[in-house]
Amino acid sequence: MQEGIRMNKKRQEQKENQVHLRPYEKFMQFGAENLTECELLAVLLRTGSREEGVEALAAHILNIAANGRQGLPGLHRLSLEQLLRIKGIGKVKAIQIKCIAELCTRMARAKAGECLTFERSGSVAAYYMETLRHKSRECVYLLMLDTKGHLIRETELSRGTVKSSLLSPREVFVEALRSEAVHIILIHNHPSGDPAPSKEDMSVTKSIYEMGMKLDIPLIDHIIIGDNKYISFKEQGYL
């Protein structure tokens, strides 16, 4: 009984200590997993501005990055110019933040790549998720596969406005023929975060599918990436 009381008291003291410790000290004592997102960013920033401490600066950056969304994805969307407009963020810190965001994207993609197979829509979506879901414009990628379903090459076909991208079926098959592709997959993002296909998505996909059947280079899937979710035309039975 006494031992249990002592343990509970010790845990309470640890929690109180965490509240008062600065992020770097808290990391040293309790580990990175016990730091908030704001504290993690504060550790990386190291110093604040004349007007506010480093934790307040980190909170300010995350608040701007959130822009109505939850979590950290907004950091990817902040441009270098936007970061430099924040008081207390100079060129060095702005570049550090952009490099950290890019490193996180590559780490996530490398992890997804360990189990990547182009036969499963979910596997392809997971691999491209972090690359595409943070983009502020629609981007269309063409994946060209060989007879064994291995990736020959990927290329960005189109980069559009916030609401739509321009995609030419002719351009798709010029690239596919150039790479001697046997099968192709289309993948693009919806900056809104909602992967539901638009009428334009349905129409363009149908045109490309029909042309692919005539050229014997079938479109085997079209994947739309949203905010941590996706829709596959193959899985939905559209192809």
Asked if 113 contacts 105 with a C-beta cutoff of 8 angstroms, the reply is no
> CATH number, domain at 209?
3.40.140.10
Residues of the domain holding 194: 122-232
Domain boundary among 81, 108, 135: 108
What's residue 72's pLDDT?
Answer: 65
Same-domain pairing of 96 and 14: yes
Same-domain pairing of 104 and 6: yes
Same-domain pairing of 53 and 140: no
- Tell me what the pLDDT averaged over the chain comes to: 84
Same-domain pairing of 104 and 146: no
Q: How confident is the model at residue 5 (pLDDT cuts 50, 70, 90)?
A: low
Higher-pLDDT residue of 14 and 46 is 46
Same-domain pairing of 75 and 151: no
The string of pLDDT tens digits covering residues 91-139 is 999 998 888 888 887 887 777 666 678 889 999 999 899 889 888 889 9
Domain count, the chain: 2
| Range scoring the smallest mean pLDDT among 91-100, 160-169, 203-212, 217-226 | 160-169
Same-domain pairing of 134 and 223: yes
Same-domain pairing of 132 and 49: no
- Which of 33-42, 127-136, 137-146 ranks highest by mean pLDDT? 137-146
Same-domain pairing of 128 and 104: no
Q: How confident is the model at residue 177 (pLDDT cuts 50, 70, 90)?
A: very high
What's residue 35's pLDDT?
Answer: 86
When pLDDT is averaged across residues 42-60 and rounded to a whole number, the result is 85
When pLDDT is averaged across residues 141-152 and rounded to a whole number, the result is 92
Higher-pLDDT residue of 110 and 68 is 110
How many angstroms separate the CA atoms of 143 and 2, rounded?
65
When pLDDT is averaged across residues 156-172 and rounded to a whole number, the result is 77
| Range scoring the smallest mean pLDDT among 3-12, 61-70, 185-194 | 3-12
